[in-house]
Structures are given as C-alpha cells and as structure tokens.
Structure 1
C-alpha cells in the first residue's frame, strides 16, 4: 500500500483520502471477530419449547399449594390450610396413593398421575419454594409446576 505526502505533481492540492489506516483497522477488527465468534457461539444444542406460556388445565385431582414467607418463616398452604413440612409429605403420599388406587393400581394402563401446582409469592425466598418442591417429589409427584400471573395486557398465543 502506497502513501503520498505532499501536493500533487501538477501543483494542485491533493484531494485523495488516505484509506490505509481505515483498512488496517478493519483488518484488525475482522481478525478479532473471526477469533472470538466461534468461542461465543459454542453451545450445547437444545430443542427449546416454542410457547410463551402454557395455560394450566385445572383438574380436581391436582394439588394446589401456596408458599409464602412471613417473618423469615416459610408457610405452605394445601388449598387454604396451613401445613407443616411433615403434614405436607403425609398428605401428598395419601393423595397420590388414593389417586393411583382410584385408577386401578400402579400397573393400570394409561395411569395419569396428579400434578402439584405451586403458587409462590414474589417476595418468598427460594428455599421456601424449593422445600415445597422437594417434599412433593419425595412424596412421588413426578410433575411439579408453577402458577404465575401474566403481565397486564398480555395476550396469549399458541405457536
């Protein structure tokens, strides 16, 4: 790449733009991007669901739990009743066994297990909600979901 310094040979002022520094900067940026882009793009391929949110289907056999913290103490409600962690486990085991027996036992074809739906207050620490999840999983509930409130003015659409 050539560079001229000074006026043109015929005495007129030089009107050419010196692009050498611009080309140098662009080549350096190109090399930087070529090196960094593969590092940023390396991810584990995962097939994510294509839904905004999934409306819940309320079934009578599902368990509705509400979790909140008051005064640093976790409170779990089964429906409208405040339960201790041991009561939660006992009730969940009884509920699951009753539902399995109602459908014909654990080997019945087409067995549909109930789900646990947890409503967690926005100010509740995760340890409270995590404890409720852990207790329900210990009881045998395979599906534990969260109930949330969509933002105001939100319109749901299925993809």
Structure 2
C-alpha cells in the first residue's frame, strides 16, 4: 500500500489553509487620508490681475460701414452685388481692388443651401488670400434643420 503525501493531494482547499491574497483595504484607507491631507495643505492660488478698465460706453460710430454682398446661388454662380461673375479671376480682381482701399468694406457672403461647397470655400479662400479682413457669412439659419 502506497501513502500519499499531503502536498500531492490536489483536492478542494481546506478551511484552515492560509490565504495568500494581500488585503488592500488598509492601503487604500491610508492613501485616501494622505490625499485629503495633501488637498488641505496646498495653499489656494489666486491668479488675479488688477486692471484699470475704462467706465462708460463708447459713442457709436458715425460712419456706417460699406457692405459688399457676394451671393452664391443654387446653381453655384457667384454674384457680386447682384451681378453674375463668369470667372474666378474676375472675382479675385474685384476683391484685390477692394482689399487695397484704405477702409475695407464689410463682405457679406450669402451662400444658397444648394450651392456647391467648393465654390463657397473658394470665395472665402480668395478673400482671405487677397487680404479682405471683414468677412461674414449671412443667412446661415437656412442650414439649421
């Protein structure tokens, strides 16, 4: 008859067997206490800059800005104040002339909902490249669904 050693026995774990898992609850408690102490001891940083700001409201400008309307219709035709432009070169020539003025006009770009994106993007890119700085897209509420 052969005897088996207790080590060779691979049956279910006994109740009196030692646990090999680490109890992390005390470690977490200590870390939370240290975190709270750190938060309490850090001084509150006040980042403020004292400025003497002017009071009152500035008077409204007496001069109304000139408005230049550029429309892009549903067929992606560019209209300069209602006049259809046939080429992009014509658009850029007119934009360059307006950009050279001492007081630039406000450019109101009104694209139609069905206009091709490439045409509208080309108009904006030309205006930026040629130096027009007062550009706004008007009528964007038509794109909200």
What TM-score results when the alignment is normalised by the length of structure 1? 0.43
Larger Rg: 2
Larger relative contact order (CA 8 Å, sep ≥ 6): 1
The TM-score, its normalising length taken from structure 2, stands at: 0.47
